[in-house]
Amino acid sequence: MKRKKAKEDLTLVGHLTELRKRIIVSGLSLIIFALIGYYFAEFIVKDLVNRAPDMDFVFISPSELMLSHIRIAVYFGFVIGSPIILSQIWLFVSPGLEKDQRKYVVIALLLGGGFFLGGVVFSYIFVLPVVFKFFASFQIPEIKATISFSNYLSFIISMLLAFGAVFELPIVMYILARFGLVRVAFFTKNRKYMVLVIFLISALLTPPDVVSQTLLAIPMLALYEVGILLSRIGQKGRKASK
């Protein structure tokens, strides 16, 4: 009986076939969840509008609101379908990794997904209402806040992605320490410089207002301390595996 060919022994054509299979599964999951997202798009739009009760929204082109529904559906598809998409990426790359590498990559993916989701939820529930209340405080009787919904949606998406990405900081620090690329002493020694870097990153990732930048910088400072703790664990794990 012939031995089944391992994935490590696949030819270039075999790898391309495997890649196509993973792309097809990921694409189908994205399409299915995007269709589900489109069904709930109106509910999501209403909830987004309720985030800013002091503002009025309009659409300034015939297709703007419809396209906004489609954007929401696509993002919904990516978020809800991300476990399937990540699993397909993992199934494609895992055969080329060592056993220990697989374990730590899985840990990083799970924790990274959790931290990203935590950043998105934190931004949506706590940060956005504060930011919109701050913006609304600048209204005067002569000027009424009537916002294009498309611009409003773009603002929300940029904020959610910024917070989600920033919440990945502890995982990045853990991976750097676990694979010996950076030592924990570097993170602790340069803590005061990282404060400046964090505020610069906050200014780049958020809209040009002090409130948004501060609301992003404060969690980043806390996450940096969490990252130091995780990097200690990663460094100890590296020493124990030698």
pLDDT digits (tens, 9 = 90+) for 88-103: 888 787 777 677 667 7
The highest-confidence range among 70-74, 94-98, 156-160, 196-200, by mean pLDDT, is 70-74
The sign of the torsion formed by the CA atoms of 8, 12, 17, 21 equals positive
Mean pLDDT of 6-32: 80
Percent of the chain with pLDDT over 70: 90
Closest C-alpha among 24, 50, 15 to residue 124? 50
Q: Please write the tens of the pLDDT for every residue from 111-156.
A: 878 888 888 888 888 888 888 887 777 777 777 777 899 999 998 9
Residue 10's pLDDT is what?
A: 59
**101, 179 in Cβ contact below 8 A?**
no
How many whole angstroms separate alpha carbon 187 and alpha carbon 177?
Answer: 10
> Domain map of the chain by residue range?
11-241
**217, 169 in Cβ contact below 8 A?**
no
Instruction: Provide the 3-class DSSP secondary structure of residue 58.
Output: strand
Q: Which two tokens stand for residue 185?
A: 């002493």
**204, 193 in Cβ contact below 8 A?**
no
**78, 36 in Cβ contact below 8 A?**
no
